[in-house]
Structure 1
Amino acid sequence: MNLNSGLEATNMLDEMMVLTAQNLSRMEVSDHYTVIKELGRGKYGQVILVIHRQRGTPMALKLLSKMQTKKQNFLYEYCVALSLSAHANIIGMFGIAFESAEHYGFLYEAALQRDLISIIKPREGVPEQAGKQCAKQLVSALEFIHSRGLVYRDVKPENVLLFGRDCQQIKLTDFGLTRPKGTMLKLVSGIIPYTAPELSYSRNGEGVPIDFTLDAWAFGVLLFCLMTGYFPFEKTLLSDPFFDDYVVWQETGNSEDLSRHWKKLTTEAMDMLSKLMALNPTERSPVGKALKYLDCSWRVDNWRAIEGLD
């Protein structure tokens, strides 16, 4: 089934949420699982590694506090993840969702090799071949999400889980921000490098209909991190001098003032990023266009000398 419209995606998820709510079981974690350790913690909940008591299967359990999470939001995130989990580069789900006295929870496959951020070396990034391997799989995952009428909206290394060394297999996780294409999104408060510039400027309270181009921007920023070990800028605001220099390059083609981190990149890699990260979302290339650059070198031969790492 190919869901090209956000409306179809919305209708499908609404139906899944109703059915899931009707069949949501009540239990305490300790009834069926042995807690091993915490894998991560966020604003609204935590992820813990558990072992199924009878089967001995290691699983990742996401727990969301009932005090801070609406039931509908929990059901939505679970159903989005479940609807996408058949893809090889998206985290697998066990189809188990429940509520306890204090939490909502669901289970998915555990990534015992950690996440992408754990292998990005500051000032270096990752080996070029590993970066390309990661890029190819991310394109596949994002194109699948887009084919379902959804915008992922959370491309960042922390959400890319490793299932093998050197990015042999990666999987996207965390679908709390994923929304159907066309959803109106207001100005975001926490502006970070992954935030597309069209979301960074005030519009008198008016929203912006989200599109797949948001993921293209964030994907470009992620590729820059993989290749350099740096962010291209801290914020997508002109008050950030590195972003201001990027805007000048985009508008004039003059790359002289770009930060030195860009100097490690080949002409082909810069061309790829300039298209994924076009300031005008209507001119942004889809994520799949990155595949045509896989046969090109992404880093110049003497990048270590440029960074003073020799």
Structure 2
Amino acid sequence: MPGKQSEEEQVEVGAQQDLGGLTEEELRQGQKAALALEDMMALSAQTLVHAEVDELYKDVRPLGQGRFGRVLLVTHRQKGTPMALKQLPKTSTSLRGFLYEFCVGLSLGAHSSIVTTYGIGIESANSYSFLTEPVLHGDLITFIQPKVGLAEPAVQRCAAQLASALEHIHSHGLVYRDLKPENVLVCDPSCQHVKLTDFGHTRPRGTLLRLAGPPIPYTAPELCAPPPLPEGLPIQPALDAWALGVLLFCLLTGYFPWDQPLEEADPFYGDFLVWQASGEPQDRPQPWFGLTPVADAMLWGLLDPHPRKRQPVSSVRGYLGQSWRQQEGTGEEGDRE
């Protein structure tokens, strides 16, 4: 499954007469979050520790490598405390970009399904770094079996925990915008507990975005359409609901429901729209074989093409404890070609 998110341009919402579909309260919520982050960034810039990382911490092993940086398991040289250190090279990261990601993590505080960011930012000669709690069993992508997914109890645990994490982010006036298996860290070998990480794409509600690259399965269809404002689409938590629906489909089946949410370009997405509009779960398209009507209802809500009709991430809770996969012999089974 592809792991990189399409790049988008970001422009903060300013004073404007057309709110692009947002209510005034939604706009105020996003502006409040943006101002709080600016204040936190100004304070954090003044309290950065100026030192080389290896003077303070001892490398233990790599935990992850991304396009813009790496994550290491380190221990404090004096206290021996294990921590995860995210290191971003100055060649590809500005001070403001570093402070933004660092402060988004700090602003979310403690949540059982979000990686905790510690209040220690470090500026070295060639990099910026910050510390988080260590999560040692890799990311969710390594647990997903192609054309199989995860065991259903693990899927339901992930669904509950990720929905709770996203609700928490939304309650702070933010939209996560980067939900994918690579950003879900696993805390134990049996996938009992997961945590959301990497807040570099998180933005205040109402931030204006334009899709700059080709859409991917997690891209909501409203980002693929002409934006309501010249500067872009004001983002809403519905973007995260769409991505959660795609992720849960992947966990249940081991593949994507479509390659991109464009009816004219992707027949799998076109078939889904026809099926959803029919309201007849028994007429499911081939990629959806093996799921139950309960799973259909949950995913239809999260994957409504109209963002204002889309169910919030919290809707997942109403489907927990019910079967999401058909049992062998109770319905049609099949693999996507």
Which amino acid is 2:310 matched to? R
What residue in structure 1 maps to residue 90 of structure 2? 66
- How far is 1:306 from its partner? 2.1
| Residues 281, 296 of structure 2: 8 Å contact kept | no
- Deviations 1:52-96, CA, capped at 9 Å, x for gaps: 211222221111111111111110100000111311111012211
What residue in structure 2 maps to residue 231 of structure 1? 256
SS in 2 for 1:19: helix
Matched, 1:293 2:323: no
Among 93, 105, 120, the residue aligned to 1:81: 105
Which amino acid is 1:252 matched to? S
- How far is 1:131 from its partner? 0.8
| Residues 183, 209 of structure 1: 8 Å contact kept | yes
What residue in structure 2 maps to residue 20 of structure 1? 44
| Residues 275, 285 of structure 2: 8 Å contact kept | no
- How far is 1:296 from its partner? 1.5
SS in 1 for 2:72: strand
Larger RCO, structure (CA 8 Å, separation 6 or more): 2
| Residues 53, 122 of structure 2: 8 Å contact kept | no
What residue in structure 2 maps to residue 210 of structure 1? 235
Which amino acid is 1:209 matched to? P
SS in 2 for 1:5: helix
Which amino acid is 1:207 matched to? G
Which amino acid is 1:68 matched to? S
What residue in structure 1 maps to residue 286 of structure 2? 260
SS in 1 for 2:211: coil
TM-score by length of 2: 0.86
Matched, 1:302 2:311: no
Which structure features the higher share of helix residues? 1
| Residues 187, 201 of structure 1: 8 Å contact kept | no
What residue in structure 2 maps to residue 107 of structure 1? 131
Which amino acid is 1:141 matched to? A
- Deviations 1:225-283, CA, capped at 9 Å, x for gaps: 11111111111122122112112223333668854231110011011101101000010
Matched, 1:117 2:144: no
| Residues 291, 325 of structure 2: 8 Å contact kept | yes
User: CA RMSD of the aligned region, Å?
Assistant: 2.1
Distance in 2 (CA, whole Å) between partners of 1:44 and 1:190 is 20
- How far is 1:295 from its partner? 2.4
